[in-house]
Amino acid sequence: YNTTIAIGTATDNNYNFTPLNSSTFEVGLKSLIITATDASKFCGQTIVFTGQEFTQEGLVGGDAISSATITSDGTVASAGTSDSPYAINISNAVGPGLSNYNITYVPGELTVNVVLLDVTSAQTPRSINELVTITIGVTDGSTNLSDVLVTLNVGAVSYTETSENGIATFDLGKLAADLYAVTAQAGGCTESEEVFLPVYDPAGGFVTGGGWIDSPPLAMTGDKANVVGKANFGFNAKYKTGKNNTNEVDGNTNFQFKAGDLHFSSATHDDMQLVISGAKATYTGTGTVNGAGDHKFRVIAIDGDLSGGGGVDKFRIMIWENNSSSTLLYDNKRGVSESGDDATEIGGGSIVIHKPTGKGNKRIVTDLVSVPWNTPTEVIEKKIASMSAGWFDGKGIKLTINSESYNPLAAGFYELKVNVQENEWFALDEPITVNVLVADKPLATDIILSNSILLRNIIAGTVIGDLSTIDPADDQHTYTIAEQSDFELVGKSIVWKGDAIPSNSILRVFSTDRAGQTIERSIELTREPRFGDFTMFPNPAESAVTIEVELEQSMNVGIRIYDAVGRLVFEDERVQNGISKHQITIDHLSPGLYTVQLKTGKLIMNKRLIKK
C-alpha cells in the first residue's frame, strides 16, 4: 500500500533549511507460511480436525492465526492403506492482522496403518439354545486399539461395532443351526481370515451315508493332481445321549480312493461340530491316512430327498495334510468355501439325514462296519447281532437282517436293512440301516512256477511245472500267458511244445484274482545243466592242457590245479558264458599226478590230470 510523508517546519539559527517536496512510499505484504501437521491413524478409525493442526512461520507483532480449514480424504473409517498417505489440505486461515500477510499453505500427510484382527472366538461351536456373543481382538500387533470400526460378517448378515481397549464385542442373539462363514473387517482395509462358526442342535437328528463318487481331477496335488477314479465312502455321525455328554459327537468315517493310494479312517469326531441344517449335514474330526498320521477332516453331506436337497445326494470330504490346518491333502471340491453347499453327486449308495421324531417308536443309528474283502455274510450278521446288544436296553430282541445286496467279493459300501421281530417292548420308526464297508482286496504279491528247468530230454506235451499265486486274501486265480512258440498253458500247467531246447527262455505270465485284479511276472526257464561234466585234453599232457565246459548262462568260472600233496600250483577265475575254453601251460610242472578242480557257480567238479 502507499503512504505519503510530508515535511513539517523547522527552525534553527545555526542552519539554513532548504524545503523539499513531500514523497510517497510503498509498504508490501509480509510472507507467511502455514503448514498442516502430519497425522496418522489405524484402519477403521475416524479423525476430526479442530482447525488447530498446523504450524506457521512469519507472524510478527500481535498478529495471530485463530484457526484454519483442514480436510483430508483419509479421515473416514473406510479409508484404506492402499491410498495412504492421504493429503491433509489446509486453507482459509483466520485471525487478527492476517491481511498484512501473503499466505502460502503447505499440505501435510495422513498415514493409515494396518490393524490386526483376531477372530479365534468365532470358531467356538454354539448351540441353537444359547445367546451368541463373538469378541474380535483389535491390535496393531502389540497394542490394544480403541475406536476402530469393525464389521463382522456372519453368513449373509453383517454387524458393526467399535473396539474398546482392543476388543470389539458383537451380540448376535440366537442363531439357527448351520455352519456360518465368518470374517471381520476394520474400516476398508484390514480383513481377517475366513473361519467357520458351527451352530448345532444336539436334538437335531443324525446323518448316515455310504456309496461312491467319481473323484475329480485336482482333488489331490503334486504328481497325483490328475488322478481320477472311483472313491468309496461310508460314515455316520450323531450326538451322544445322556445327561453329561450331549455335546459329544459319536460316529465313524471311512474314505477309500484306491487310484490315489488314499485310505482315510476317522479316529475322533469333534465335539459340537455336527451341524444339520435342512438337507445339509457337516462335521469335523481327525483320523489317519493309510494307517498313520493325524489328519483333520471335514465331511459335507447333502440328502437329496429333503427339501432343499435338489433331489440328488451329494458328498464332499476335505482331508488336511498331517498335523496341518491349512494344506489340503484331498478335497473333491477344492477351492469351494467350507460353508458352501457345493458337493459331488454320488454315483451309487445313499445319504440320509434322520430327523428327530416324537416319543414312541424307536430310531437307531449304527456304527459303520468295516470288513476285509471276502468276509462271509454270516460274519456280518454276527457283528450286527453283537452291536444290537446295546440298542434295546438289554432286551433280547430278535432281528431280521436283509443282506441280499451284500457281495463279499466286490469292494465298496453296502446298506443292510435290519428289522425287529414281533416283541412286546419296541417298534422301529424305520428299518435300521447298517452301512458295511468291504475293503479293497490287496493285490497278489507274486506268481510262482513249480519248476523252471527244461530237461535235456524233454518232449512235446511234457508238463514243465504248475503255476501258483502268492496272495494273502484269495486262493482262486486264473492264468494266461503271452504268446510263446515253445510253451502253452493248460489250466494252471505250463506245457512244452517246442523242438530245440534253448539255454534259457522268458515266459510272461498273468494271474487274475476274483476281484478282477491282475498281476504280471516274467519267469525265466533254463536248460538242464550238465552237472559234473567238463572236458580236459590231452590227458596225459606234457606242455599244455585244454579245459572246456558248457555253460547255460553267464557265471563265474574258477579253475584250480593241486599237486599230489595238495599244494595249489595254478589258479584262474573269470566270468564266462556259452562254451568256455581254457588253455593252461603246464610245462613248468614236474611230472606226476595232479587234481584239476572246476567251479561253476556253486557246482564244484574234480578230475585227475597226468603230467608227463
Contacts of 459 (CB under 8 A, 6+ apart): 496
Q: Percent of the chain having pLDDT more than 70?
A: 92
Architecture of domain 446-527: Sandwich (2.60)
By DSSP bridging, strand 178-186 and strand 314-320 are unpaired
Q: What was the pLDDT predicted at 569?
A: 94
Q: Is it the case that residue 360 has pLDDT exceeding 50?
A: no
pLDDT computed for residue 358 by the predictor: 47
What burial letters (b/e) apply to 62-77, b meaning 16+ CB within 10 Å? ebebeebebebebbeb
What is the average per-residue pLDDT within 187-196?
Answer: 82
pLDDT tens digit sequence for 503-520:
778 999 999 999 999 999
pLDDT bucket at 543, cuts 50 / 70 / 90: very high
**Model confidence over 282-306: pLDDT tens digits?**
999 999 999 999 999 999 999 998 8
CB 426 within 8 A of CB 360: no
Contacts of 456 (CB under 8 A, 6+ apart): 501, 527, 528
pLDDT digit string, tens, across residues 163-183: 999 999 999 999 988 888 899
Residue 225's pLDDT band, with cuts at 50, 70 and 90, is very high
67-70: long-range contacts, CB 8 A cutoff, minimum separation 24: 67/93, 67/94, 67/95, 68/34, 68/92, 68/93, 68/94, 70/36
In this prediction, residue 286 carries a pLDDT of 95
Average confidence score pLDDT of the chain: 87
pLDDT band at 246 (very low <50, low <70, confident <90, very high): low
pLDDT at residue 2, rounded to an integer: 54
- pLDDT-derived band at 308 (thresholds 50, 70, 90) equals confident
pLDDT in tens, 197-217: 888 887 777 888 888 899 999
User: What does residue 605 show for φ and ψ, rounded to 5 degrees?
Assistant: -125, 145
Q: What pLDDT, on a 0 to 100 scale, did the predictor assign at position 362?
A: 58
> What architecture is domain 30-113?
Roll (3.10)
State the fold for domain 531-611.
Answer: Immunoglobulin-like (2.60.40)
In the numeric block, the cell 457345493 is attached to 342
Q: Which cell goes with 419?
A: 428289522
Q: Determine the pLDDT at residue 297.
A: 96
CA distance 375 to 371: 6
pLDDT at position 11 over 70: no
Question: Which residues have a Cβ under 8 Å from the Cβ of 307 and sit 6 or more positions away?
Answer: 278, 279
Give percent helix, percent strand, percent coil of the chain, each to the nearest 5: 5, 50, 45
Q: What is the pLDDT of residue 361?
A: 53
The cell numbers describing 74, all together, are 483419509
| Average pLDDT estimate for 532-549 | 85
For the ranges 238-252, 462-476, 585-599, the lowest mean pLDDT is seen at 238-252
Please say if the pLDDT value at position 120 is more than 90: no
The more confidently predicted of residues 273 and 504 is: 273
pLDDT at 18: 63
pLDDT at residue 571 in the model: 94
Q: What backbone phi and psi angles, to 5 degrees, belong to 610?
A: -100, 120
Higher-confidence residue: 108 or 252? 108
pLDDT band at 467 (very low <50, low <70, confident <90, very high): very high
Q: Mean pLDDT lowest for which of 59-73, 230-244, 338-352, 397-411?
A: 230-244
Query: How confident is the model at residue 173, as a pLDDT?
Result: 93
Helix (H) or strand (E) holding 532: none
Q: 369-438 and 446-527: same fold?
A: yes
The pLDDT of residue 509: 97
C-alpha dist (Å) from residue 129 to 40, 159, 174, 238, 355: 44, 21, 7, 18, 18
- 429 contacts 361 by C-beta, under 8 angstroms: yes
CA atoms lying within 13 Å on the CB side of residue 419: 5
The answer to whether 336 and 200 have CB atoms below 8 angstroms apart is no
410 CB neighbour count, 10 Å cutoff: 14
C-alpha cell at 437: 464297508
What percentage of the chain carries pLDDT values higher than 90? 51
| Measured distance CA(75)–CA(161) in Å, rounded | 18
Mean pLDDT score, 84-105: 94
State phi, psi for 548 to the nearest 5 degrees: -130, 135
Contacts of the segment 72-78: beta carbons below 8 A, 24+ positions apart:
72/39, 72/47, 72/110, 74/41, 74/47, 74/110, 74/112, 75/41, 75/46, 75/47, 75/48, 75/49, 75/110, 76/46, 77/44, 77/45, 77/46, 77/149, 77/187, 77/188, 78/187, 78/188
Architecture of domain 369-438: Sandwich (2.60)
Q: Is the dihedral of CA 390, 392, 397, 402 positive or negative?
A: negative
Beta pairing partners, 507: 523
Q: Let me know if domain 116-199 sits in CATH 3.30.70.3000.
A: no
* In the chain, domain spans: 30-113, 116-199, 201-354, 369-438, 446-527, 531-611
CA angle at 17 for the pair 12 and 23, rounded to the nearest 5°? 125
Alpha carbons within 13 A on the beta-carbon side of 116: 8
Flag whether pLDDT at 468 surpasses 90: yes
